[in-house]
Amino acid sequence: MSFTAPDLAVFRGVIAIELRDGGMPERAALAAGSAGEVAALLGRDLAKLTPDVADCELALMAAHFDPAEALRPGWPLHQRVIELLQRAPGQAQGARVIGFGADAQGDVPQPLQCDPALAGGGLRVMPFVLRGAGLAAAAEQLESKLFDCGMAQADAALALQDGLGARIEHIRYLSLHDLLAMMAMQYQNVGLDALWSLLEHALIGPMLAEKDAEFLLDAAPEPLARYGDGEVRIAMLSPQAWRARNAPEETDSGKLERGFIRFQARQRQYAAVLEVHGVQVQFVHCGDGSSDCLR
C-alpha cells in the first residue's frame, strides 16, 4: 500500500533512540533546559541535511515513547507537539526552536507521559515537528535523506544520553514514514505481513478517500478481519467454519483441535497488536465463515 501525499502543513519526525542491552532510561523526559538544548542540536543536524530547515519552526517533545505510541491513527503524539507549539509564546518572533520537557520540579506533564504498559523495549522515540515557510523544500529533502544519513551528531547523542540517564547504542533521526517502513519490516520479519497490511490501513485509512479506506483480510490460515469505519472487526469462527476455511481435507481430530487452538491464539495476537497501536478491535461471531458478517 502506498502512502498518501505528505501533509504540507507540517513535517512529522522522531528521534529514534536505540537502548543498549534493553535497559530503560532513568528519566521519562529531559529537563526543560536540556530539552531546549537537544531541540537546538536537532535543528542544527537537520539543517546540515537541508538548509531550508532554518526557515522552519521546530518543536520537540523531549519525552520518550514506544514506537507504537507514535504509530496510532491520527498520529496523536505529533498532534500533541503541534498543540504545544501553538500554545507556546513567541509566535511573532519568527522561526522558533522549542523543546518541551519536564517541569521545574522534574515532573512529567500529562501530554509527555508515555503509556506505562509499553515502557519496555529496546527502541524509544521522541516526536518532533517542523512547520513554516521553508517546509515544502525541507520536507522533501528530509524524506529522501534521513533514513540513510540521519545519524545524530556526537554532542546531540551525549546530551540525550546524559539528560535521560540512559545507556544508548545509537541515535538517529527518522521521518514518520521512515518509522512506518522500519516497523513494517520488523512485522514482516516475524511473519506478521498480513497483520501489517491490516494495521497500515487502520493507521492511514482516516486520510484516504472513503472508498479506499476499507480493507478486508481474507487469506487463510490468517484470521478473517476487516478494517472499516475506524475499527477492525475480527471474525470469531466456529470449529466447523474454521475447518471448512482452513483444513477441509483434514480428518485427524487431534490435528484439527490443535490447529483451531493455534488459530484462536493468532486472533488474540492480532487483537493485542492492533490495540497497542490504538486501533479499536471488535470480535464478531461468524458462524458460516463468510466475511459478510464483518460489514
State the chain's mean pLDDT as an integer: 91
Provide the grid cell at 270.
Answer: 492480532
Percentage above 70 pLDDT, the chain: 95
Pairwise CA distance, residues 29 & 16, whole Å: 14
Pairwise CA distance, residues 72 & 200, whole Å: 10
Average confidence (pLDDT) over 53-60? 96
pTM of the model: 0.90
pLDDT digits (tens, 9 = 90+) for 72-103: 999 999 999 999 999 998 776 778 999 999 98
pLDDT at 204: 86
Pairwise CA distance, residues 224 & 130, whole Å: 40
Q: Quick check: 211 pLDDT over 80?
A: no
Pairwise CA distance, residues 279 & 204, whole Å: 11
Pairwise CA distance, residues 267 & 275, whole Å: 12
Sketch the domain layout of the chain as residue ranges: 11-186, 191-294
Distance, first Cα to last Cα, the chain: 22
**CB-based contacts of 291: which residues, under 8 Å, 6+ apart?**
216, 218, 224, 226, 235
Average confidence (pLDDT) over 191-210? 85
Question: Can you list the positions of beta strands (E) in 205-246?
Answer: 215-217, 225-228, 231-237
pLDDT at 295: 85
What CATH architecture applies to the domain 191-294? Answer: 2-Layer Sandwich (3.30)
CA–CA–CA angle 138, 161, 118 (5° rounding): 85
Query: What three-state secondary structure class fits 172?
Result: strand
- Binning pLDDT at 50, 70 and 90, where does residue 158 land? very high
